[in-house]
Amino acid sequence: MMKGGCHDHQCSKGWVSKMGADTLNGNSDDECCDRTCALYTCSAGFAPNKAYASNVASNDQLCCDKLCGKDFECADGWSPLKSKEKTPGVSTEECCGKTCSLFECPEEFAMNPAHKDLIADDRDTCCLPLCKHYTCKDGWLADPAQQDKPGKSEASCCTQECALFDHLCPANTAVKPKRRCEQGRNVEQCCDKKCSAHKCDHGWKVNVSALNQFGNTSEVCCSPTCARFDCDAADGWLYMPREKALAKGGVDPETCCFPACSRYSCGKGYVPNPQAKALSKTGDEACCLKTCEGHKCGKGFVIKTNSSDLVGHTDQACCEPEKCIAIRANMTETDEGCHAVSEEDCNSRYFKFGENASATVVQCSYDTKLKLCRNKGIHTVGCQFE
């Protein structure tokens, strides 16, 4: 069926005839008409405006006004007005109000810091009188440091002597005697901590005698334990177990360290034991070695001359044959052997081979048949020579 011309079609409400509709074929709004803003529903953050109702459009930009909204970004010194959140607007002047930060306080007034971001434009809201114009109540004194600052109360503009806060100090704090006449506005300024509130650091323990003193450090309030003391191994001092050191107070090696054998003085008849010098012990038996001094030699033997320096307790270690005394006193050693000694000196010479206690002494003897001094004399083993 052939359609009629749009010139015979009547557009519905909210629609308007298309441009050149007289030349168009059709019999419906979609064919012959255009939608106007009257049919458009504005998005969130936008509001309809009757003035745009006849506009041929279907979007927020041509059919609606943008609302100020609660997130509008105002210029510095302005703040969004809650009353304008649902009002159309696109500028700071339309959507925001001036804050106190833009208000110029008159002379003898200053900006109220607490109201800086408050929306207002008057002196009473935005400003505070300067403290120098405030009269402090009895018992309070004008605070010199606050005179050019805003305030209108004792807490803001005035001060007191710290002595007045003594009874208000928290537990384990008090006003120091030397601060009682100083100015202060609160317990934070006037009250100082006592040692009774201090927790001693690791390596320190509570000093009962300092509990009522003023202080807040371990150096002032506590006593050092041996755990803080450095024992000098090179000087013969060894560390005690950690638990014991933490429980014991002291600042000297005699209190805080264990002496090593290297610090022990051996008694008579003993000499230091090199193998025991680093041991944490004391006493002759633990730190020393018994010497030959006091040893009783068997028959035919006498104690060696350096017995106090010799370690041992047997005849072999501590004694020498009795003949050794006469050999050392009356005879002379020959380094080249007996054969090089003359007849006159032969019987007063000896030849030695070996070392110290294991040395063998051979007395020279003159052979009359061979007319020769020979090492055929008495052999003596074990004489001590320097």
pLDDT tens track for 36-49 = 999 899 988 898 98
Q: What pLDDT is recorded for position 1?
A: 44
Number of residues assigned to the chain? 386
Closest CA to 312 of 297, 294, 298, 292: 292
pLDDT tens track for 98-124 = 999 999 999 889 899 889 999 999 999
pLDDT tens track for 276-309 = 888 888 888 889 999 988 889 999 899 888 888 8
pLDDT tens track for 318-327 = 888 998 888 8
pLDDT tens track for 311-320 = 888 888 888 8
pLDDT tens track for 216-253 = 999 999 998 888 888 888 888 888 888 887 778 888 88
Residue percentage of the chain with pLDDT more than 70: 98
Cβ within 8 Å of residue 100, ≥6 positions away: 111, 112, 115, 116, 117, 118, 120, 121, 125, 126, 127
- In the chain the first and final C-alpha atoms are separated, in Å, by 151
Check whether 192 has a pLDDT greater than 90: yes
Higher-confidence residue of 272 and 182: namely 272
Q: What pLDDT is recorded for position 386?
A: 67
For the four alpha carbons of 175, 179, 181 and 187, in that order, the dihedral sign comes to: negative
Check whether 126 has a pLDDT greater than 90: yes
Q: Quote the mean pLDDT of the chain.
A: 88
Q: What string of DSSP letters covers 281-307?
A: --SHHHHEEEBSTT----TTEEE-TTG
Cα angle: 236, vertex 242, 248; to 5 degrees: 85
Mean pLDDT of 354-366: 81
Q: What pLDDT is recorded for position 349?
A: 92
Nearest 5°: phi and psi at 102?
-95, -5
- Residue 15: which pLDDT band, with cuts at 50, 70 and 90? very high
Q: What pLDDT is recorded for position 170?
A: 92
Residues paired with 48 in a beta bridge? 64
Torsion of CA 36, 41, 44, 48, to 10 degrees: 60
The residue behind tokens 């010199």 is 144
CA dist 32 and 103 (Å) reads: 60
pLDDT tens track for 62-101 = 999 898 988 888 999 999 988 888 889 888 898 999 999 9
Give the other-Cβ count within 10 Å of 100's Cβ: 24
